[in-house]
A and B are shown apart, each in its own frame.
Chain A
Amino acid sequence: MLEVRNLRKEYGEFVAVDEVTFALPEQGALAIVGESGSGKTTTARMIAGLEAPSGGSVVVAGEERPAGRLRARERRVRARQIQMVFQDPYASLDRRQRVGDALAEAVGFHQRLPADGVRARVAELLDMVGLDDRQARALPKALSGGQRQRVAIARALAAEPRLLILDEAIAALDVSIQAQILTLLRRIRTETGTALLFITHDLGAVRHISDEVLVMQHGRVVEHGPVATVLGAPQHPYTQRLVASIPKPGWTPRRRAERAAA
C-alpha cells in the first residue's frame, strides 16, 4: 500500500535522506531505526506529507503523491490515508479542549455523520484505546502521559487511516506504560488492519511489534529485512554495533572506536 522510491531530502549541501527505497504491504508493520541525525524522522515526515522531498516518490495505494501545496480537499483525502502520532502528545493536543470534544471534532472532520453517529463513533474510539467516560470529559492536563498518547492515537484513528506513522510515540513514556501502548497498537493492527510505520530507536519494541525493519545511518538504508533476521544476525557493521550496545545479562559496556569527528 506504500511504496517509497529513491526518496531524497537535501538541506543546502547536506543530504539528510539519501535514496531511500522500501515498500510496506497492506496491514503490514515496518520499523525504521537509526540514531539521531540518521534521517529516519525526515523520511517519515516526507511520507506523511509534512516535508517536501528533494527527489524520489511516495506512492500510496497506487497513486503518486504530488509535491507542493495541496488544496483542502486533497489534504483531507491524504489525511484519510495516512495519520501520524508524535513523541509528545501534550504538544499535539489543544489544552483547552476536552478529550471527547477533540475526538468528536476529528470524527466530524473526516466523516459526515449525524450527532448520535458522531457520539457512537467517539465512544467506539475511546473504547478501542482503553479510555473511559471520565477521561473523555477531562482536559489533557488532567491526564497522564500514557493517557494523552491514547488520546492522540484515538484521534489519528478517527480518520480510519490505512497507515499510522508513530514517530518515537512511546519514547517519553514510563516503562510500564510503554508496554500498554505497544499492546494497544498490536491490537489496533489486528482489529482495524491499519498498517504501522514505527520510527524508533528502541530495538526491543521493534522486535515485539514489527514484521520488518529498516536500519538507517547518515541518511542511507544500510540494512533491511525481517526483524528476526536483522536483529538476530545483523550483517552490516553498523547494525551489529547497534545490537551489541543494547544492555542484556552479561553485557559490559565497552568503548568502540572513537568517532573521528563528532
Chain B
Amino acid sequence: MTEPQNASPLLHIDGLRIDLPLDGAPRTVVHRADVTIPEGRAVALVGESGSGKSLTARCVMGLLPGSARIHGDVRFAGESVPGMNAERLRAFRAAEVAMVFQDPRAHINPARSIGDFLIEGLTTARRVPSGEAVKKVTGILREVGIPDADRRMRQRPHELSGGLLQRVMIAAALAVEPRLLLADEPTTALDVTTQEEVMAIIGEAREARGLALLFITHDLELAAAVSDRVVVMYAGSTVEELPAARLRAHAAHPYTRALLASRPSVFDEAAELRSIPGRPLSGFEAPEGCAFSDRCTHVQDVCRSERPQPSPHGDAFAACHFPYVLASEETADHA
C-alpha cells in the first residue's frame, strides 16, 4: 500500500525551526521538524524530554508564546499557521483542530461543571443555541463511553477519575468537529487498562469521522500500534520517519534502534535490555554535528562535525550519516 503522493496533505510541517528566549538570549529549541499528515491519517511523534515534540505540536495549534521566532513552514490544508492573525487563529481552533493534553485537570476549570466546560466552546465560538449544544455534547459523551452523561455534566472535575476526565477532554475536542486531533501524551498519566480504553475511543472517533491524528508520545510500542507512520525526534530534530508497521524491523536511525532496545519487553524473554549511555539532550544543547553523536555506538568523525540531513530510503527517511539498512532490503531496493 502506498500513499497517494499527489493529494495535498492536511498538515505539512517542513523544516520548522523554533527559537525561544532562554535566560534573555534567543536559543534554538527546535532545529528541524518535518511532519506530514494526509487527510484522515494518524502520525505518531515520538521523543524523550527536550526532543521538541510538544513544542512542534503547540506550534501547529498556534500556542507558542509571543516571544517565539518561527522559521520554516507549517501549513494546514495549504494555509500557513504562523501567518494566521488572532481572529483567524481563534476560528481555526474553534473548527479545524483540537488538542488533548496529558493532564486534563490542568486544562479544565475546577470551579465549573463538566457540562459548562463542554458546551462553552460551542455556544460562544460557534454560536450554537445552548439546548442544541447540550444535546450534541450528551451524544458525544455517550460515544466516548460515559453513559450517564446527564449526571456527569452536573459534576465538577474533582468528582471524576483521571480516566473519565480524559474522556471528557476527548469529548470536548470532538465537539469542535476538527479535521485534525492533536493528542499530547494523553494516556501517560493513566493506568495501562485505562490507556487501552482511551486509545480505543480515539481510534473509533477517527474511524467514524475520518479524523487525522498527531499523537505525541514517548512510547514507541504504543506509537506503532495506533498510527500509520512514526516520526522520531531527538534534541530538537526529526531523525527518522517511517511506516509504523516497519518500525521494529526497519528502523534505520541508531537512536530509534537504541530506543527500541532500551524498552524491556513483557513478551520477549530473550531480549536483552540495552541502555543508551548519557542522557537525552534538549534542542538548545545540541552540538554542532549529529545531536546523538555523544551517545551513539556507531559514531564516526564526520558525525561530530557535520549535522546529517534527512535522506530518503525507500518510502522513509533518516537523518544519519550511517543509517542501518537490512541486507535484504538493500537488494530489494536495487532490484
Contacts and interface: CB of A to CB of B under 8 A. Distances in A.
Contacts of A209: 264
A48 B259 CA distance: 34
B262 A262 contact: no
Interface in B159-206: 160-164, 191-197, 199-201, 203-204
Interface stretch (B110-118, B214-222, B314-322): B214-222
Interface in A168-206: 174-180, 182-183, 201, 203-206
Interface in A196-225: 201, 203-209
B192 A242 contact: yes
A204 B197 contact: no
A258 interface: yes
Interface of B: 48-49, 145, 147, 160-164, 191-197, 199-201, 203-204, 218-222, 224-226, 248, 258-259, 262-267, 269, 273-277, 279-280, 295
A contact patch SS: helix
Which of B192, B203, B218, B221 gathers most chain A CB within 10 Å? Answer: B192
Which of B164, B219, B226, B262 gathers most chain A CB within 10 Å? Answer: B262
B296 to A, nearest CB: 12
15 contacts: A35-B191, A36-B191, A147-B279, A175-B48, A176-B275, A179-B273, A179-B276, A182-B275, A205-B264, A246-B267, A253-B196, A253-B203, A253-B225, A256-B196, A258-B145
B219 to A, nearest CB: 7
A6 interface: no
Given A253-B196, A258-B145, A262-B164, A247 B275 contact: no
A71 interface: no
A253 B199 contact: yes
Contact of A204 (B200, B224, B263, B280): B263
Contact of A248 (B200, B201, B267, B279): B267
B271 to A, nearest CB: 9
Contacts of A247: 219, 221-222, 224-226
A255 interface: yes
A231 B267 CA distance: 8
Which of B219, B258, B264 gathers most chain A CB within 10 Å? Answer: B264
